[in-house]
Structure 1
Amino acid sequence: MRPFRISKAQARRVPALGAAFFIALGLFAPQSFAAPVNQAAATAPSAAATGAPRAIPVPKSPDATLDGRPLASDTSKKSATPQAAAASPAKTAKKFSAAPSATGCDLSAFTGATGATLVRNVKAASLDCVGTLFNISGTDATKAFREAQMASVADGLRDASATYPGDNSTSVGQLVLFLRAGYYVQWKYPNDVGTYGSTLQTSIRGGLDAFYAAPHSKDVTQANGETLAEAVTLIDSAYENGRYTAPVKRLLADYTTSWPGSMTDAVANTKTVIENGFDRDGFIPALQADPGFATTMSSFVTRNASLINGGDMVTSIGIVIGNYVAHDELKAQGRPIIKDLVTRFPLVGATGPLTMNLVWFTENKDKGNCSVYGLCDLPTRLPPLVLTNTRTCNANLRVRAQEMTEQQLADTCTSLINEDALFHKVIQDNGAIPGDVNTNLEVVVFDDYYEYSLYAGAMYGIAVDNGGMYEEGNPTKAGNQARFIAHEASWLRPSFQIWNLNHEYTHYLDGRYNMYGDFDAGMVTPTIWWVEGIAEYISYSYRNERNANAIAEAAKKTYKLSELFDTVYDQTPDATVNSTRVYAWGYLAVRYMLQSHPDDVKAVLAKYRTGDWNGARTLLKATIGTKYDTDFATWLTACAADNCGTLPPVQSTPLCTLPDTRQFDKNCRRDNAAATTGNLSYSFLYLPAGVKSLTITSAGGTGNADLYYNGGSWATNSSYLAKSTNQGNGESLTITNPPAGWVYFSLYAQQGFSGATVTTTYTTS
């Protein structure tokens, strides 16, 4: 993640590190909280736009794009793709009760015929056959879908609709599907198909006019719905959204939960017509002329509220209402309707996606008018509704979570507290920077990226097209609250992990103990090699995980060490290159310097801690300069072969002195614990009365040891009260209010291990 030491006073926030790949999650995150799919590295609002320093997004968690929808009213980002391409055409076509095919699926029936012959061939083909036309290109696309061909089929739809019987026995469905395919292919391959003009517009209007005028197009039957659902989508494909608001309105007004599935599909497809319509000519004037359209949409939502579950058509259509306040001409219509919906439906639970998306529209498209909607208090109203689980780890650390269990809260506290100890062992600081009063951190954890995207923006005023956000605030201001806003890594379940937790916590520690002032102060010279490199190094070291990405990069030898001292966030226009240099190469640079030149690191940090940024820069670029480049290249070769080396030993916890090497005491350690695969290394400890919290940790060495605790009897992997079973030897357990007397714990060799360090600490009340 980027330096997270951000001044709240200047609204400076930095997104957190995530994965460089994306997984579409689902339907409804606030539309502009998510980045467009094709803009994975989209930047946050510019300084000019926000009045705040710029924050450059970094790679996201795997879920971070959700459905990737740009804001519906933003024509610069909104795709004009005809809706026909969103799903498999073949699957769509199979919804019809198709007439038998007389021609089979011969492409030449569409590319080698014109006029009335083409219309006959389309009607004679199976729906599956017509559906394959969505995939054609080149000369086939030219022959099948040039304007004259499309106009002929649109005229055929007009003629066939005059006697439309309410089912597909006359092959009206094939004509509709052909037209949808044509608009889609023309959008995708405009140079192949050629332009569409007034000839086709006249014909398609004639075809759609005739279809929607046909009495049986209003039949509430499964058979009619199969054709109607496709005809609704054709409105959008043909960009005729503004002309056909009446049939859309009728469907919304008449719908009941008793309608058959295909008719429900037709209603669901109106969402695309409405949403895309806001960006198309004639649609907004049509809504201005018919205020009843907005009230019909609202009534549709309230009347069918029983269907709302967060991923349903009522929610999706209801969200589109927010576009009314994105257009000045429609604000007066939209405001009372949106106010009613966000007041009527709860902000959390099944209706949360509906209400919070509408909230987003009010905050971003009707700025400064929160009082109109009764939403000005959301930043204080939402947290207790959403973050229902709280744990105070210690006087300096609190976790507020949406769905975490007591054990997960306890484990998170343990993870951060123990990481704190590792950080100070590695850094060997002498305490917080004078004047830094960021003595406590609040960790906010949403259940997954989706919930983060839904609520974090309204609660904390942050962008959420990222993997989390750290807010340092002003570290010199009394009462300032530093906060890391995060989400669980749902894609790793059933394993529990808070995405970026240890990396971000390192930023908090680094800002408090190494980097003078706020974030902007530390950015006057390039410090990113350290800021992000140490966060990556501590995170991987504490979790005892191999940084596979960095090790793979080491083999490439892309950068010299002297070049990495110049790293900034936006080094190049290529976001992937930037991310790799910032994180993987930052990790490699910091690891090398800590292991090979620790005295130089101490000298640089001495400058950083006093805010002598130019002095640190001189040390890095002039005193050190290029003299380590050759050795760094040699080290990269070894690291690429998984021989990256280890830090010089730093131990602040004293060795245990009791003669029995199995026995521990308060705040002591034993080194070189070992056991062969399947065996245990047994230990015990005597606790006085009144112990409030006992923490047992293991770290270092090779192999894979798991930690087990069993109170008053020997601990094994089959007899225990608590366990920690991470990969490697990095294990930790915190036992609250343990019994007085002898307690027992063991390391079980899941894989033979050696060289591990075991530490016990406890506090008394």
Structure 2
Amino acid sequence: MRTFRIPFASATRTLTLLLSFCLALGFLGALAPGARAAAPAGPPTAAGQAKAAKSAPRSTEAAERRKDAAREVRADASKRPPLASGGEPAAVRAQALAAAATCNTADFTSRTGSALVTQIKSASVDCVNSLFTLKGNDAKLAFTESQMVTVANALRTVAAGYPGDDSTSATQIVLYLRAGYFVQWYNPDVVGPYGSSLKSAIEGGLDAFFAAPHAQDVSDANGATLAEAVTLIDSAAENARYLGVVKRLLAGYNSSYDASWWMLNAVNNTYTVLWRGHQNSDFLPAVQADPSVLDTLQSFASRNNALLGGDKGYLVSNAGRELGRFLQYPALQAKTRPLVKSLLDQSSITGRTAALWVGLAEMTDGYDKANCAYYGTCDLANRLRAAVLTVNYTCSSSIRIVAQALTADQLTTACTSLKGQDAYFHGVVRDAGAVAGDNNTTIEVVVFHSSSDYQTYAGTIFGISTDNGGMYLEGDPAAAGNQPRFVAYEAEWVRPDFQIWNLNHEYTHYLDGRFDMYGDFDAGMVTPTVWWVEGFAEYVSYSYRNVEYTDAITQAGLHTYALSTLFDTTYDNADQTRVYNWGYLAVRYMLQSHRADLDALLAKYRAGDWNGARTILKTTIGTRYDADFNAWLTACNGGNCGAPTVPTAPECTGADTRQLDRNCRRSGVAATTGNYAYFYLYVPAGTGSLTITATGGTGNADLYYNGGAWATTGSYTARSTTGGNNETLTISNPPAGYNYISLYAQQGFTGAAVTTSY
């Protein structure tokens, strides 16, 4: 989740849209009420992808850091690739969505007692899974305590003869109970309180299930129910009572589990039980009474060290994190410290075992920092950065790339894409320069070698969430010395092709924050601006790369939202489909169909007049365009979305063809090899930044700038010399008076254009 424009002070508190993301991706069945921060991990290997859909996150610590900040930021979860084959197939998800769509809520809300149990047992798992979304009176009728007691008692009855598969509908019963706890957690005033009656009933049901002989079968059939039952432990806040189940699963794991995604999921879900247990008052006393769970975690990680670096390595690194988390208790430190140290000694800061080392090190840094020398984890964030981010590349005067493993060709490719986007962006938004008080003149682009490396290192180095597709940290643009950056990773799943995931989306956030949105992240969120912030980043990313946004076009055919509704989108009230797909559709429509309104809106955003912008959206526009937007959606879904906005500046009008001016261009520029096309422009005093772009044509033109004399290869203060004619320079605080620009023909060129804006 790049988070759009996060103040650095908030970066360690980041989570966003967890519930919305899980709803949109079909992950609801995995969430316990308390595990609201357990957003799915990224898109790595097949097993890892499947695990992300149904289990605790690969990095549970990242989730914990995020759990209290849902309103602070937004992370680009939708910017991850879809789940791949392996584990839970895409076809299964499609069937699940279809089943959920045909599920009738009234079948559950209108029944009580044995009739309710019969209905649950006769429904599909996916139908029951859809009940996590219930609200209002439906939530109350389905999940009031008396209903939950009935279903918990049914679990005890079914568990008595549990055959090790779903033939007696144990999965549906477990999942219904999980849905009830989840809905009640978020709607306690509507559903009503849960008390001792339910606690007694759920303990009876879970006791019976985990005592059933077939609950220990190693098979897909049992694993599907077992994985949900383990998560139900946390849903019901019975974490302390079932530490024995946690130990049994961790101790019992061996290679026979590897053939079953569900069994792996059941094992991994034990980490949710442990992680969330720390929030329950009875958890620490239970561990103090029997601290053998600490030995179990250490033994599991040590015994399965060979899994690290593979698609099941998350099981080991999560074991290390959950062991290290017990360092927070002085009463357990004497027991925990040597166990943690032993695992640190079995792993290293980089390489195959890095995920275990970093997870443990982060726990020592957070809970036992005074003893960092004992662990060898002092100055952790700086040590990690120095060890991992070893590539430093100056892309331009405003862009620096810091990377883990980019080659020279890959650096050139990324740099060319970023610099070319500058001109495209300015051509679309038609800005007049940076907003007042924005000093973010340079951007640091951090690129990890893979999504796994990102998840391993980025959270500790930058204090961010990593269960996402990248993150932009704006900081305070008015503060001296502030360094904005976005953190991204290579998309290893498209190799041997090279792609930095979300590169252009994230870079748009930087440009938009600098040239369109006054102040910092918090300032821009005082009224709903998400439709623009995310929709525009999507729009530029897809249109600049000339890639069709098929997901958004498919959504257009569903006519889910009116335009006036999309203007109300926030990170709290929307899922990823509304934020990204529908944000894109709203922005594209407004750019193409109502440019004057959009220009007026951007003028308000740039001035920080958020209430004035809101008036334009909700009063001046209101519902006026809803019918036309609806018709446009039909056409767009049918293949006629209209031409994307062409980002062009008007031709400069000065009689001297060498004269440039503010927000204009000279086109048709040409020069023979070794010669120049010269230009100049007058810059007023107090100009914060000057952007110069060269685009189009044939040949190879390099861009040179000089603040006090004609710009040449031997006399310049800035230059851009990539291959071809797409060059960009951003000059901070250019001198007042005449400034000079040239295109040098590294190879003879024709048909180029030079554009200036300040």
What is the TM-score with the length of structure 2 in the denominator? 0.59
SS at match of 1:524: coil
Supply the distance in 1 between the matched residues of 2:592 and 2:634 (Cα, whole angstroms).
15
Change (3 A) 1:463 1:315: closer
On the 8 A contact 1:18/1:61 being kept in 2, the answer is no
Equivalent residue for 2:475? 473
Equivalent residue for 1:595? 592
Supply the distance in 2 between the matched residues of 1:559 and 1:191 (Cα, whole angstroms).
30
Equivalent residue for 1:586? 583
Shift of 1:453: 1.3
Q: Paired residue for 1:654, among 659, 663, 666?
A: 666
Q: Paired residue for 1:55, among 62, 67, 73?
A: 73
Shift of 1:303: 8.8
Change (3 A) 1:435 1:67: farther
Shift of 1:587: 2.0
On the 8 A contact 1:60/1:465 being kept in 2, the answer is no
Supply the distance in 2 between the matched residues of 1:558 and 1:207 (Cα, whole angstroms).
48
Shift of 1:589: 2.5
On the 8 A contact 1:304/1:314 being kept in 2, the answer is yes
- Tell me the amino acid that sits aligned with residue 648 of structure 2: V
Change (3 A) 1:344 1:377: farther
Equivalent residue for 2:36? none
- Tell me the amino acid that sits aligned with residue 650 of structure 1: T
Shift of 1:449: 1.7
Q: Paired residue for 2:512, among 491, 510, 513?
A: 510
Supply the distance in 2 between the matched residues of 1:498 and 1:26 (Cα, whole angstroms).
17
Matches within 5 A, 1:246-257: none
On the 8 A contact 2:14/2:67 being kept in 1, the answer is no
Q: Paired residue for 1:563, among 552, 565, 580?
A: 565
SS at match of 2:486: strand
Which is worse superposed, 434-443 or 562-571?
562-571
Shift of 1:563: 3.3
Equivalent residue for 1:132? none
Give a deviation string over 1:207-251, Cα, whole Å, max 9, x none.
99xx9xxxxxxxxxxxxxx99xx9xxx9x9999997799999999
Equivalent residue for 1:357? 359
SS at match of 1:470: strand
Shift of 1:356: 2.3
Shift of 1:557: 3.8
SS at match of 1:512: helix
Change (3 A) 1:413 1:288: same
Change (3 A) 1:475 1:369: farther
Supply the distance in 2 between the matched residues of 1:147 and 1:303 (Cα, whole angstroms).
32
SS at match of 1:592: helix
Matches within 5 A, 1:303-702: 309=309, 311=312, 321-322=323-324, 324-325=326-327, 330-342=332-344, 345-362=347-364, 373-571=375-573, 575=575, 579-640=576-637, 641-647=639-645, 650-651=648-649, 652-658=664-670, 683=699, 693-697=721-725
Matches within 5 A, 1:96-245: 186=170
Change (3 A) 1:18 1:430: farther
Shift of 1:459: 1.0
Shift of 1:321: 4.0
What is the TM-score with the length of structure 1 in the denominator? 0.58
Equivalent residue for 2:747? 743
SS at match of 2:393: strand
SS at match of 1:350: coil
Change (3 A) 1:292 1:417: same
SS at match of 1:410: helix
Matches within 5 A, 1:726-765: 743=747
Equivalent residue for 1:120? none
- Tell me the amino acid that sits aligned with residue 518 of structure 1: D
On the 8 A contact 1:686/1:741 being kept in 2, the answer is yes
SS at match of 2:472: strand
Shift of 1:366: 6.7
Supply the distance in 1 between the matched residues of 2:341 and 2:607 (Cα, whole angstroms).
52
Supply the distance in 2 between the matched residues of 1:466 and 1:582 (Cα, whole angstroms).
15
Change (3 A) 1:568 1:200: closer
Determine whether 1:5 maps to 2:9.
no
SS at match of 1:353: helix
Give a deviation string over 1:641-671, Cα, whole Å, max 9, x none.
324134366234411255999x995799797
Shift of 1:388: 2.0
On the 8 A contact 1:686/1:742 being kept in 2, the answer is yes
Shift of 1:482: 0.6
SS at match of 2:356: helix
Higher Rg: 1
Shift of 1:479: 0.5
| Structure with the largest fraction of helix | 2
Equivalent residue for 1:718? none
SS at match of 2:724: strand
- Tell me the amino acid that sits aligned with residue 342 of structure 1: L
Give a deviation string over 1:493-538, Cα, whole Å, max 9, x none.
2222111111111111111111111111112222222222221221
SS at match of 1:444: strand
- Tell me the amino acid that sits aligned with residue 492 of structure 1: V
SS at match of 1:696: coil
Supply the distance in 1 between the matched residues of 2:541 and 2:571 (Cα, whole angstroms).
20
Supply the distance in 1 between the matched residues of 2:81 and 2:381 (Cα, whole angstroms).
25
Change (3 A) 1:555 1:664: farther
Supply the distance in 1 between the matched residues of 2:643 and 2:247 (Cα, whole angstroms).
71
Shift of 1:685: 6.3
Which is worse superposed, 343-352 or 627-636?
627-636
Supply the distance in 1 between the matched residues of 2:350 and 2:324 (Cα, whole angstroms).
18
Change (3 A) 1:380 1:656: same
- Tell me the amino acid that sits aligned with residue 696 of structure 1: G
Query: What RMSD in Å do the two structures reach over aligned CA positions?
Result: 6.0
Supply the distance in 2 between the matched residues of 1:269 and 1:38 (Cα, whole angstroms).
8
On the 8 A contact 2:701/2:748 being kept in 1, the answer is yes
Shift of 1:60: 4.0
Give a deviation string over 1:73-119, Cα, whole Å, max 9, x none.
xxxxxxxxxxxxxxxxxxxxxxxxxxxxxxxxxxxxxxxxxxxxxxx
Supply the distance in 2 between the matched residues of 1:605 and 1:347 (Cα, whole angstroms).
46
- Tell me the amino acid that sits aligned with residue 423 of structure 2: A
Supply the distance in 2 between the matched residues of 1:454 and 1:35 (Cα, whole angstroms).
19
What is the total number of aligned residue pairs between the two structures?
565
SS at match of 2:668: coil
Q: Can you give the 5+ residue segments of structure 2 that lack an aligned partner in the other structure?
A: 26-39, 88-153, 177-200, 234-240, 650-663, 680-692, 704-711, 728-742
On the 8 A contact 1:536/1:583 being kept in 2, the answer is yes
- Tell me the amino acid that sits aligned with residue 743 of structure 1: Q
Supply the distance in 2 between the matched residues of 1:302 and 1:45 (Cα, whole angstroms).
24
Shift of 1:286: 9.8
- Tell me the amino acid that sits aligned with residue 521 of structure 1: A
Change (3 A) 1:536 1:697: farther
Shift of 1:570: 2.5
Supply the distance in 2 between the matched residues of 1:628 and 1:277 (Cα, whole angstroms).
49
- Tell me the amino acid that sits aligned with residue 502 of structure 1: N
- Tell me the amino acid that sits aligned with residue 580 of structure 1: T
Change (3 A) 1:13 1:191: closer
Supply the distance in 1 between the matched residues of 2:568 and 2:212 (Cα, whole angstroms).
64
On the 8 A contact 2:446/2:488 being kept in 1, the answer is yes
Supply the distance in 2 between the matched residues of 1:459 and 1:345 (Cα, whole angstroms).
18
On the 8 A contact 1:8/1:472 being kept in 2, the answer is yes
- Tell me the amino acid that sits aligned with residue 643 of structure 2: G
